[in-house]
Amino acid sequence: MKKISIESVVSRSWDLAVKHWPLFVLLSIIEGIFSNFGINYDTSVLTGLGQNPDPQVVAEALSESLSVSPWLAVGVLVSIYLGFITYRFLRNALSFGKPYEVLGDELKIDVTQFAIFFAVELCFGLAVGFGTLLCILPGIFLAVRWMFAPLIAATEDVSFAEAFGRSWKLTEGNFWNLLLLGIVAIGIAIVGFLCCCVGLIFAEVIINFMMVVVYQDLKDQEEPTYVDVEA
């Protein structure tokens, strides 16, 4: 059975985050800006909402206050693109010691690979969200078993089905360890939140590196090592 050392994953991820944080904090901030691009709230509709605890009234008020513009599509596309290159930068930082060799080259994307990544991100979110709505537990199960699918789609030349298939195979036999790692990640996020917004963004960098580090560890254990034997 493949083994995961949570202490080692967290320690190495911390070291990588400390070394490379400026770039990834910047990417996180820009992605956060674009993820809300084209979404507007009418605050006047929400005035006095706190005095009415009725969930139905709150839901209706939030729905009325929310409006979107055609710029939302641009924001979503840019946000997903930034997520795509962030995965590549994270992989490079771990494997080669730096996020990129030539920034312009790394920002270029293969349209087919990006389309697959887009589809994987969308389906992963829908599957986990739907599973959570059903009974929470199915959502948690799928979140763990398919947790590497977006990373694989962004960094490897795979098809849509292969991204999910490889993630399923890599997480086999390690569900509880990966779930525990997820709980640790939530704890790190809470600590970051208590250290104000900047701390939360840095915590996100650590958590992203944890994803890449544990993926590489499991991948290395899965791939056979070939030794040349002279006759």
pLDDT grade, residue 226 (50/70/90)?
Answer: very low
Rounded to whole angstroms, the Cα distance separating 62 from 70 reads 20
In a domain, residue 45? The reply is: yes
In a domain, residue 231? The reply is: no
pLDDT tens-place string over residues 191-214: 988 887 678 889 999 999 999 999
In a domain, residue 224? The reply is: no
- Global pTM? 0.84
As for how many domains the chain has, the answer is: 1
In a domain, residue 54? The reply is: yes
Average per-residue pLDDT in the chain? 85
For the CA atoms of 79, 80, 81, 84, the dihedral, rounded to the nearest 10 degrees, stands at 130
pLDDT mean over 27-49: 72
172-178: long-range pairs with CB below 8 Å, 24+: 173/1, 173/2, 174/1, 174/2, 174/4, 174/218, 175/141, 175/144, 175/145, 177/3, 177/4, 177/6, 178/4, 178/144, 178/147, 178/214
Q: What percent of the chain has pLDDT over 70?
A: 80
Task: Look at the chain and count its residues.
Answer: 231
Range of the domain at 40: 6-219
Rounded to whole angstroms, the Cα distance separating 206 from 200 reads 10
pLDDT grade, residue 12 (50/70/90)?
Answer: very high
pLDDT tens-place string over residues 87-137: 999 999 999 999 998 888 888 889 999 999 999 999 999 999 998 888 888
In a domain, residue 228? The reply is: no
In a domain, residue 226? The reply is: no
Q: What's the pLDDT score for residue 136? A: 86
Q: What's the pLDDT score for residue 196? A: 72
In a domain, residue 176? The reply is: yes
Task: Kindly state the DSSP code that residue 38 receives in the 8-state scheme.
Answer: T
pLDDT tens-place string over residues 64-81: 666 666 777 888 899 999
Whether residue 153 is predicted with pLDDT greater than 80 in this model: the reply is yes
In a domain, residue 229? The reply is: no
Q: What's the pLDDT score for residue 55? A: 62
